[in-house]
Amino acid sequence: MTVGIVIAAVLLAIAVFFIVRQRQTLRTVRADAAMPEDQRQYLLRQCQRRTFGSVLLILLAGMLVGSLFFDYEPIRKPIDEVPVVEQEAAKQAVRLVGVYWMAFLLMLMALMVLAVADFWATARFSVQQQRQLFQQHRDMLEAELTEHKYRQGNSNGAAH
C-alpha cells in the first residue's frame, strides 16, 4: 500500500513538473516573434504531446491510488461453502478488477507510445536542424570562395 502511494506521488510530481515546464515553453513561444515558423510548430506540438502525457500520468496516479481500495480477495471461504449469490458477486468483483487493470495498462501503453512519438519527433527535428545548419555553412563557404576568387582575379589583373 505504501509503495503504491509513493509511486502515485512520484507520478503526480513528474506530471506537475512537466505541465509547468510546458506552460513556460508556450509562453516563450508566444512571446518570441523572431522564432522561425518550423521551430515554433515543433515546440507547439511538443508541448501538446507532453501536456497530454502529463495528463495520462495524473490519470495513472489516480488509478493507482484507486486500486488500493479494491478487495482483491472477495471470497474468504472455500467456494463450496459460499452461496451462489456471493459467488456471482465475487465473479463480478474479479471482472471489475481485471477491467480496471486492463484500462490501467492500456493507458500506460498509450503513454509509452506517446513517449516514443515524442522521441522520434525530437530526433527528426534535430536531423532537420543539422541539415539546415550544414546547408547554411556550405552556402557561407561557397560565398567566401567566390569572393576569394574574385579578389584573386582582381589582384592578378592589377599586376599586369
Per-residue pLDDT, 1: 80
For residues 125 and 121, what is the distance between their CA atoms, to the nearest angstrom?
A: 6
Residue 72 DSSP code: S
For residues 134 and 136, what is the distance between their CA atoms, to the nearest angstrom?
A: 5
Half-sphere exposure of 106 (CA within 13 A, CB side): 6
For residues 63 and 41, what is the distance between their CA atoms, to the nearest angstrom?
A: 33
For residues 44 and 27, what is the distance between their CA atoms, to the nearest angstrom?
A: 10
Per-residue pLDDT, 159: 54
- How many other C-beta atoms can be found within 10 angstroms of the C-beta atom of residue 13? 12
Per-residue pLDDT, 2: 85
φ, ψ of residue 77 to 5 degrees: the values are -115, 165
Per-residue pLDDT, 111: 96
For residues 131 and 122, what is the distance between their CA atoms, to the nearest angstrom?
A: 14
Per-residue pLDDT, 54: 95
Per-residue pLDDT, 88: 82
Per-residue pLDDT, 31: 87
Q: Which cell goes with 29?
A: 513561444
pLDDT block averages, 10 residues each, the chain of length 160: 89 94 91 87 92 95 89 71 79 88 96 96 93 92 89 70
